[in-house]
Amino acid sequence: MNFIPNIVFATALILGVGYFAKNVKKLIRNIKLGRDKDVSDNKAQRWKNMTMIALGQSKMVKRPIAGILHVIVYVGFVVINIEVLEIIIDGLFGTHRVFSSMGSLYGILIGSFEILAALVFVSVIIFWIRRNVIKLKRFWNSEMTSWPKNDANYILYFEMVLMTLFLVMNATDVHFQAMDSGNLISQYLVPLFNGLSDSTLHIIERSAWWLHILGILVFLNYLYFSKHLHILLAFPNTYYGRVNPKGEFDNLEAVTNEVKMMMDPNVDPFAAPAEGAENTMPEKFGASDVKDLNWVQLLNAYTCTECGRCTSECPANQTGKKLSPRKIMMDTRDRLEEVGKNIDANKGEFIEDGKQLLDNYITREELWACTSCNACVEACPVSIDPLSIIMDMRRYLVMEQSAAPVELNNMMTNIENNGAPWPYNQMDRLNWKNE
Amino acid sequence: MSEVLKVPTMAEYMAEGKQPEVLFWVGCAGSFDDRAKKITKAFVKLLNKANVDFAVLGTEESCTGDPAKRAGNEFLFQMQAVTNIEVLNAYEIKKIVTTCPHCFNTIKNEYPGLGGQYEVMHHTQFLKSLLSDGRLTIEGGQFKGKRITFHDPCYLGRANNVYEAPRDLIRKLDAELVEMKSCKSRGLCCGAGGAQMFKEPEKGDKDINVERTEQALDTQPEIIAAGCPFCNTMMTDGVKAKEKEASVQVMDIAELIANAEDL
C-alpha cells in the first residue's frame, strides 16, 4: 500500500486548519483590545436576531436581486460543504467516495450539490458583471480602489474555480458517471472529455479533487486577510448587535458619575480621593483610536464585507460629502490590523507609533458630515453600527479637544446659558401662548 | 390671535393640587421658532378641543440636550437631562407628549438610564389615540382628495419604528397619501439631524434638504406633511430652493388636522 497521498493530505489539512486557527486567535486578541461592553441582556432577542438576520438572511433580500443571488451562494456554500466531509474522509483513509455506499440517497445528495454548484457559478458570474461591467455605483466609491476592489474580485474568482473543479471532478470520475445517479449537471460536461483514455480521465479527476480541497484550504486562510470574514463573523455580529431602539445612544457612565458629583450638594469637592483611586487615570472620553472603541465595534469592523449598502443610503454621501459609513468601518479595521501587527512585532506589547484612527484614517470632515439618521445602521445586512463609531469620535473631539465646529460651540453655549440651542431667554419659553 | 388658548402650566396645576393627564413637552423649536410655534398652537387647539387635561412646564422647561449629545457633548447633555429629570420627577410626571421627535427620542430612550422613566408619545401617536378613543373626530374637509406625501422624521421612524401613526392620521383626512421613493425605514433624512441644524453642511455637491425635497416633489404633492419642526424647516427651505412655494405647502400633521377642523 502507498500511504504517501494520505500523509500529504493529512499534512495539508493540519497546516491549513492550523494556520487558520492561529489567525483566528489573533483576530480574537485584536477584538479584545476594545473596551468592555456588557452584552448579557436580551438573550432571547439576540438569538432571534442571529437566526433571522444571519441564518435567515432577512436583511439581504431587502434588495431583491443581490439578495436572492446571495442566498443562492450562501445556501450553496453551506450545503456543498457537506461534500468536504467526504473528501476529508477519503483523503485521510484512502477511500473513494466513501458515502456512495448510501445508494440512492448519495445520488440525491450529490445531485443537489451539483445543481447548487451550477447555480452558485451563475450567481457569481452575475456578481462579477454587476461589479465590473455594470459598475454599480456603490462598488466604485473612492474607498473601493486597489486592495478592496481586487479582494472582491479574487473572492469571486475563487468561487468560480472551486465550483468548476467540483463539477470537473465529478464529470471525469468514470465510476461515478457509470452509476448515473446524482450526475445531474456533470453529465453534460462529460462530452468535453470524450476520447480521453480512462487513465487520463483518472489523472484529471485526481487533479481536480486535489485542487478542489487545497483550494478550499487556501480560501479558508484567505478569509482573515479579506473582507470575506463575514461568512463567519456575521453570526456573532448579529448576536451582539444592537437590541435597543436605534435612536438610543448610550449614556457615558464616566460622565454620569461626574455629573452626579457636580449636582450632589453633599459631595465635598476637596475630599481626598478614595484609597487606590489616586493612581487611576481619569477615563478618556470618546474615541480617537481603536482601543477606545468597544469590542463589539471592533467585531463590526472585521465583519464588514464592504457591500456599501450603508454608503449608498447615507444622505451625506448621496449629496457628495466625504462621509462614507463603509469607509468608517474599513478604516477601523485597517487601523486595528496595524495595531495588531505592531503588537506582534514588539513581543506582545504595543509601541506608540504616532498614529491613530482619528486624522490618520478618519478625517474630522467626515465625522461632522453625519446627520445621525441611522440609514447606514438600518441598511447593514449584518447589524454593523457605523454611527456609534462616528458618535464616539465626535465625543473625543468635543470633550477631549474642544474641537467642535464654531457654530456648534455657539449652539452649545446657548444651551448652557439659556437652555435652548438659540440665544432666547428661558423666561420667554411660554411667550408663544399670547402671540 | 383672537381666540384664547388654554395652556396651563405644571406650576398652576401643582398650586391647585391637581395632576394633569399628560405633560406637553413643547421643545425649543416649538417655543422659539416662528414656524414651529404655529405647530405648537395647532396641537394645543386640538388638545383644547378634545378637552385633554394637559399642562406645560413653561419657563421650567429646558433643552433636552439632544443636539449637544449628537454633537458629542455628553457632559452638557447629561447636565440638561439630570436637571430636566429633577423637574419632571418633582412634578411626578408619568406621561409626556411632544411635537418634536428629537425630544421624543431623548426623553423616551436616553432619560430612563439617568433616572427619568416616563411614558412618552409623539403627538401623532397621541392624536391617533384621541381619535380611537372617540375624544376627537376628524372630517377631511378641505383636504379631501388632496395629494399629501409624508416625510418620515429619522428620530420617529428609523430611530423608534413609528411609521403608521402619522400615516393613519393623513388617511383620516380622506387625503390621497402618496409615498416617496425612499420612505419609512428607508426614508431619507432632511439634513437637520445630528446637530446639523445648527451648522453649515460639509462641502458636497448638493444640500440634503434639496435632495429630499426633490424626492417629495417627484410625487406631485399638494402638501408635504412633516412630523418634526426641524424637518419642517428643512423641507420648507427645500421647496423654496425649488421655487415651488406657490403650489406646495409644508405642514405638520397637527396643523393639517387643526385646519381640517377649522380651528
- pLDDT for A271 equals 67
Q: Which amino acid is at B22?
A: V
Q: How far is B81 from chain A (nearest CA, A)?
A: 10
Residue with cell 430636566: B84
Let me know whether B144 and B251 are in one domain. Answer: yes
Let me know whether B39 and B79 are in one domain. Answer: yes
B71 lies in some domain: yes
Q: How far is B109 from chain A (nearest CA, A)?
A: 5
Identify the H or E element spanning A299: helix A295-303
Bridge partners (DSSP) of residue B120 are B96
Bridge partners (DSSP) of residue B249 are B223
Instruction: Count the domains in chain B.
Output: 2
- pLDDT for B55 equals 97
B2 lies in some domain: no
- Residue of B198, B206, B212, B215 best to disrupt the A interface, most CBs of A under 10 A: B198
Let me know whether B189 and B95 are in one domain. Answer: no
How many CB atoms neighbour CB A83 within 10 A? 20
Residue with cell 421655487: B243
B4 lies in some domain: no
Report d(CA B135, CA A189) in Å as an integer: 74
Let me know whether B93 and B147 are in one domain. Answer: no
Let me know whether B98 and B180 are in one domain. Answer: no
Report d(CA A162, CA A381) in Å as an integer: 26
Q: How many residues does chain B have?
A: 263
What are the residue ranges of helices labelled H in A94-197? 104-132, 146-171, 174-179
> A321 and B203 in contact (C-beta within 8 Å)?
yes
- Domain range enclosing B78: 10-130
Angle subtended by helix axes A4-31 and A198-222, to nearest 10: 20
What are the residue ranges of helices labelled H in A50-145? 64-93, 104-132
Last residue of a domain, one of B104, B130, B156: B130
Per DSSP, the three-state class of A11 is helix
Last residue of a domain, one of B105, B130, B155: B130
Q: Which of residues 212-231 of B touch A (CB under 8 A)?
A: 212
Let me know whether B155 and B231 are in one domain. Answer: yes
Let me know whether B125 and B143 are in one domain. Answer: no
Q: How far is A125 from chain B (nearest CA, A)?
A: 29
Let me know whether B118 and B145 are in one domain. Answer: no
By C-alpha distance, which of A426, A289, A376, A249 is closest to B73? A249
- pLDDT for A373 equals 97
Angle subtended by helix axes B229-241 and B34-49, to nearest 10: 130
* Dihedral, CA of residue A278, residue A279, residue A284 and residue A289, to nearest 10: 170
DSSP state of B122: E
The pTM for the full model equals 0.94
Residue B202, pLDDT > 70, answer yes
- pLDDT for A1 equals 56
- Distance between alpha carbon B67 and the CA centroid of its chain, in Å? 16
Contacts of A319 in chain B (CB under 8 A): 201, 204-208, 210-211
DSSP state of B56: B
Contacts of A245 in chain B (CB under 8 A): 105, 108-109, 159-161
Let me know whether B141 and B255 are in one domain. Answer: yes
CATH number at residue B24: 3.40.50
Radius of gyration of chain B (CA): 18
Let me know whether B193 and B87 are in one domain. Answer: no
Dump pLDDT digits (tens) for A161-175.
999 999 999 999 988
Contacts of A394 in chain B (CB under 8 A): 70-72
Q: In what order do the strands lie in the sheet with B147-150?
A: B176-178, B147-150, B223-226, B249-252
Q: Which of residues 36-75 of B touch A (CB under 8 A)?
A: 37, 40-41, 56, 58-59, 61-63, 65, 67-75
Dump pLDDT digits (tens) for A272-329.
666 655 555 567 899 999 999 999 999 999 999 999 999 999 999 999 999 999 999 9
Locate A268 and state its grid cell.
465635598
Q: What percent of chain A has pLDDT over 90?
A: 80
B1 lies in some domain: no
Distances (CA, A) of B222 to A186, A379, B148, B176, B235: 61, 30, 6, 10, 14
Written as one string, the DSSP assignment of A235-265 is HHHHHHS--S-TT-PPPPHHHHHHHHHHH-T
∠ CA B118-B123-B125, nearest 5°, is 80
Let me know whether B124 and B144 are in one domain. Answer: no
Q: Do B74 and A285 touch (CB under 8 A)?
A: yes
> A151 and A227 in contact (C-beta within 8 Å)?
yes
Residue with cell 446657548: A414
B212 lies in some domain: yes
Residues 6+ apart with CB under 8 A from A217: A12, A13, A15, A16, A17
- pLDDT for B2 equals 47
By C-alpha distance, which of B63, B155, B149 is closest to A416? B63
Q: Which of residues 232-271 of A touch B (CB under 8 A)?
A: 244-249, 251-252, 255-256, 258-260, 262-263
Q: What percent of chain A has pLDDT over 70?
A: 97
- Residue of B23, B31, B162 best to disrupt the A interface, most CBs of A under 10 A: B31
- pLDDT for A415 equals 97
Dump pLDDT digits (tens) for A122-166.
999 999 999 999 999 999 999 999 999 999 999 999 999 999 999
B174 lies in some domain: yes
B5 lies in some domain: no
- pLDDT for A179 equals 84
Q: What percent of chain B has pLDDT over 90?
A: 93
How many CB atoms neighbour CB A117 within 10 A? 25
B46 lies in some domain: yes
Locate B262 and state its grid cell.
377649522
Contacts of A420 in chain B (CB under 8 A): 28, 31-32, 62-63
Contacts of A246 in chain B (CB under 8 A): 158-160
- pLDDT for A274 equals 61
Report d(CA B158, CA A321) in Å as an integer: 22
Does A362 touch chain B if contact means CB atoms closer than 8 Å?
A: no
Per DSSP, the three-state class of B32 is helix
Dump pLDDT digits (tens) for B98-135.
999 999 999 999 999 999 999 999 999 999 999 999 99
Report the pLDDT averaged over residues B161-169.
96
How many CB atoms neighbour CB A28 within 10 A? 11
Last residue of a domain, one of B101, B130, B159: B130
Let me know whether B172 and B109 are in one domain. Answer: no
Dump pLDDT digits (tens) for A64-120.
999 999 999 999 998 988 889 999 999 999 888 888 888 888 889 999 999 999 999
Report the pLDDT averaged over residues A33-53.
95
